[in-house]
Every structure is written in C-alpha cells, then in structure tokens.
C-alpha cells in the first residue's frame, strides 16, 4: 500500500504559519504530524524548517535555506502538513512544487492530504486541491465578515485602537454578555474639536500638522501627526455620531464601497453637524477626479522593482515615481489586460473538469488517510497498554526496594513516554481529520469564483484578482508580465 512512498527515507519537515503574529504552537503541531507520518512510514527527519510569514511573501528565509540543501541532494523528500503550508494555494503553488520535484527528483508530501502524485491524475488533483483551498479560505473570510458585520449593526466596537477622542467601555447586551462600545474620552475629545475648528477656519492640513506636533500632541497610537492621520480624522464619521464598519479595503482605506455598515447615533458625537458640514465643504471644493485602482499593491516597475502608483486626472495612469523619464501606462490599458488574462488564461482555460472523478479521488485519498490514522491509533494504543503494564511492575518493584534509584529513573521515562502517546492519541482522535467532499461542493466552489469575477461587484472582482494574481510587472519594453499565485 502507498508504493509511491517507497525509496523515500531521508526527509526534511517544513511548517509555516500565515502571519508573524501567530503562535509557534501551530508550527509545533505541524511538525508533530510530520513526525508521526515519518515514524509510521519508516522515514527519518534530518532537518526541520519553519517560517512565520504570509504565503504571499516571495522570500521565506528558512524555506530558501531548505531548498538549497534539497538541491544539494541531502534528502529524498519534504514533508509538510498540507500543500498550502508548503506554498501558496493556487496554480503557481503547483507549478513551484512540480519544478522542485522535476529538478531534484525528490517528492513533496502533504501528510494530511496524502495522494499519489507520481501520476498525471494525482498531480492534477494536487493542483485543483490547492486552488480549492484558496476558495475555501475566501469562504471562511466571507463568513467571518458576515458575523462581524452583524455585530457591528449594534454599534459594538470590533477591536483595535479606538479613534482619538474616544475610549472603549464594557456594556451588556440583551443576553447579558459583555460587549465593547465607544465612549467619549474627555481628555482627548477637546483636541478633536480643535482640529475640526482649525480646518473649518481655513488652516491648511500642513499648518495644522505642524501646530499639533509643535504642541507635543500625539495620535491615538502615540505617534506624531502626519497629513494622512489628520486626513483620516477629518473624514471619520464617528466624530459626528455615526458608527461605521467595513469601510475601504486592505489596500485602499478610503475606497468607496456599497456594503459599509453605518449606524446613525451608534456612538456619542464629538462635533455637531454644522462643523462637520463646514469641513466636508472645504474638502469638496478641492476634490479632483477619483478613481479606483484595481492593481494597487500588485503592479511593479520592471526597471527598479518598486510598486507603481495610481495617478489621477481625466486620463488616469500608473507610474513609477523613482525614475525619470517615468515608466507609465494607462490605467484602462493595463487593467483590461490583466482582467482579460484572468478570463482567458485561468477561468476559461480550465475546461471539461471531471468533478465526479475529482471528488472520487479526493475521497479515496481521505479514506486512505483515515485508514492510516486508525493504524497509528491502534499501534499507539497497544504501546500505551504495554507501558501501563511495565509501569505497574516497576511500582511494585520500587515498593519492594529493589534497585531503587535505577527503577525510579526508568519509571520516569515510562511516565514521560505515556504522556507523549496520550497527546498523540488525543490529536489523532480529535476534530479536524479528513474532509470528504461532494461533487456538488466542488462545482459550487468553482462556479462561485467565476460568478464573482463575471457578475460580482467591483469589490468582489478585485478580491478574485488578488486571490489569483501575485504581482504584475510592467517592463520598460512595454511587455506586461502576470505572475499567478
């Protein structure tokens, strides 16, 4: 059984958590799964590597060190918990894995997604699994956002640093649960009113920033004021008593969107409507053309490698600001190119998907993993029973005073091994296991991505773009290079 694993004896173990803020416990858990797998299949882990980085970062320090040793021929394979822990989910993750396997002759093995990737079907299944993993993450994000938005409609504070002029207090909801809400901070609220009054009276943003810093005032995060932080204050509707949630996007805090939660009267107002209107009237008088830049944070200059920035006006463009003459391209030209690339090279390039075969393969692999897990549970349970018997015999011997010091040391080793086995058994028997999937679920996940791209809002289309595309490079020759995730 699992003949494709034959010949793999020396392996590296690789683990990754999604952000630098996640606990190292997740990495330890991934390594434990790899260790159990290696033990069961008589493999030896000769090195462990881990990164605390987002999967979108091109350079992962430990990952690169591991690959250097892989290309030096030190191992037969690499173990990871799941394929999306090894590389980005999506098409480019599969390309990277195939490239490493072809050039080095090793095998990348996801111990929780065991499949025979020595066959074309197996490799195709791995690629599709990585793509669907990306879709599943998007669904999880959507569900989380829906729950957060439901909470926000009650004007509960959803976490983070409160705006200048406010503090967070505890309140009880209808069910008696403690929630957080914003209340006026009487120490800093007067400064907020002063800022609005200065701008309404004609002071420029630069003048106000200089005055605030000269007086030693600090932002809500304890830093010096900038034009950006001042701009955020003067546009924050909370100061007029309207609680807002889900404004902007990750890459554009001020982006307009039509699904913002707005609760009039949800927070106590610091300024009145008259002062708010005076400030916004000044902004409108200076407002120019506003555009949504789909490739913000994705488009890079092929000359210097830096990000290209959107530049407004009647004919908006993207431009690199580091060099003269500037490398520029019309906004409509490059955005249309990238959208067409996604349509024809990704979404419509994958045709005649046999979802039934795919579901059958995934579920067959899940069945195999369940069988393997049961074998490991049986093996550990038997060992635990033997250790229990040995421990009871040692206890009797210790009570009889036979070889006291040596027996105590042996008893301690048995106790430690028992704890290790109990921990492994609890993990093997715990929730999470192998997911069985239905044909309809596969179809729905695939169609969901296509529907978002073809029929969704501009925000949903942007989500698909950022889900599928890692970066776009504009070369000085005019060549546009699109790099998939």
Q: Which residues are catalytic?
A: 18
Q: Which residue is listed with tokens 């991505």? A: 449
Please say whether the dihedral angle defined by the alpha carbons of residues 347, 353, 355 and 358, taken in this order, is positive or negative: negative
Please say whether the dihedral angle defined by the alpha carbons of residues 206, 211, 212 and 217, taken in this order, is positive or negative: positive
Q: Give me the torsion for CA of 333, 90, 135, 86, rounded to 10°.
A: -140
Residue 405 in 3-state DSSP? Answer: helix
> What's the distance, CA 399 to chain centroid?
56
The CA–CA distances, whole Å, from 331 to 256, 293, 338 equal 18, 8, 11
**Quick count: other Cβ atoms within 10 Å of Cβ 162?**
19
Q: Which residue is listed with tokens 């990348």? A: 108
Angle at 74 (CA atoms; ends 70, 79), nearest 5 degrees: 60
| DSSP category for residue 307 | B
- For the chain, state the CA radius of gyration: 29
Q: Which token pair is 32?
A: 């434990």
Residue 293 in 3-state DSSP? Answer: coil
For the chain, the first-to-last Cα distance in angstroms comes to 34
**For the packed helices 120-152 and 91-104, what is the interaxial angle rounded to 10 degrees?**
150
C-alpha to C-alpha distance for 104 and 40, rounded to whole angstroms: 25
Angle at 282 (CA atoms; ends 279, 286), nearest 5 degrees: 140
394-410 burial, b for 16+ CB within 10 Å, e for fewer? Answer: beebeeeeeeeeebeeb
Nearest residue to 165 (alpha-carbon basis) of 242, 265, 283, 271: 271
| DSSP category for residue 87 | S
* 325 preceded by a cis bond (ω within 30 of 0): yes
Nearest residue to 19 (alpha-carbon basis) of 49, 50, 60, 52: 52
C-alpha to C-alpha distance for 115 and 82, rounded to whole angstroms: 11
The strand pair at 328-330 and 317-319 is best described as: antiparallel
| H or E, element range at 361 | helix 355-399
C-alpha to C-alpha distance for 260 and 255, rounded to whole angstroms: 11
């Amino acid at each position: 059984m699992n003949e494709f694993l034959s010949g793999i004896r020396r392996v590296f173990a690789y683990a990754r958590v999604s952000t630098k803020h996640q606990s190292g416990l997740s990495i330890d858990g991934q390594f434990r799964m790899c260790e159990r797998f290696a033990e069961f299949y008589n493999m030896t882990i000769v090195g462990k590597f881990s990164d605390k980085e987002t999967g979108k970062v091109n350079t992962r320090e430990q990952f690169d060190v591991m690959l250097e040793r892989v290309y030096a021929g030190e191992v037969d394979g690499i173990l990871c918990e799941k394929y999306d822990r090894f590389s980005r989910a999506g098409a480019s993750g599969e390309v990277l894995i195939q490239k490493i396997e072809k050039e080095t002759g090793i095998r990348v093995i996801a111990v929780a997604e065991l499949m025979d990737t020595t066959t074309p079907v197996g490799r195709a299944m791995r690629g599709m699994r990585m793509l669907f993993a990306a879709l599943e993450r998007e669904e999880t994000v959507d569900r989380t956002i829906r729950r957060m938005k439901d909470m926000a409609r009650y004007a509960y504070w959803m976490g983070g640093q409160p705006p200048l002029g406010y503090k967070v207090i505890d309140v009880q909801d209808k069910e008696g649960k403690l929630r957080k809400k914003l209340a006026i901070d009487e120490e800093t609220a007067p400064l907020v009113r002063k800022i609005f009054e200065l701008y309404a009276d004609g002071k420029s943003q630069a003048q106000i920033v200089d005055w605030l810093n000269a007086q030693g005032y600090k932002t809500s995060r304890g830093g010096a004021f900038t034009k950006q932080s001042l701009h955020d204050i003067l546009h924050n509707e909370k100061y007029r008593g309207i609680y807002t949630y889900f404004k902007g996007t990750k890459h554009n805090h001020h982006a307009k969107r039509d699904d913002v939660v707005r609760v009039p009267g949800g927070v106590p107002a610091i300024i009145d409507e008259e002062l708010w209107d005076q400030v916004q009237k000044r902004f409108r008088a200076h407002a120019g053309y506003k555009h949504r830049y789909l490739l913000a944070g994705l488009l890079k200059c092929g000359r210097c490698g830096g990000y290209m920035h959107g530049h407004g006006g009647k004919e908006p463009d993207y431009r690199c600001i580091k060099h003269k003459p500037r490398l520029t391209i019309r906004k409509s030209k490059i955005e249309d190119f990238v959208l067409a690339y996604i349509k024809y090279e990704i979404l419509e390039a994958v045709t005649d998907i046999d979802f039934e075969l795919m579901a059958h393969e995934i579920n067959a692999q899940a069945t195999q993993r369940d069988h393997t897990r049961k074998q490991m549970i049986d093996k550990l349970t038997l060992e635990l029973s033997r250790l229990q018997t040995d421990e009871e015999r040692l206890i009797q011997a210790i009570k009889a005073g036979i070889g006291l010091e040596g027996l105590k040391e042996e008893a301690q080793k048995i106790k430690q091994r028992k704890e290790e086995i109990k921990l492994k058994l609890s993990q093997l028997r715990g929730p999470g296991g192998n997911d069985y999937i239905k044909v309809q679920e596969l179809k729905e996940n695939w169609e969901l991505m296509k529907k978002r791209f073809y029929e969704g809002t501009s925000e949903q289309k942007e989500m698909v773009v950022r889900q599928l595309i890692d970066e776009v490079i504009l070369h000085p020759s005019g060549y546009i290079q699109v790099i998939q995730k």
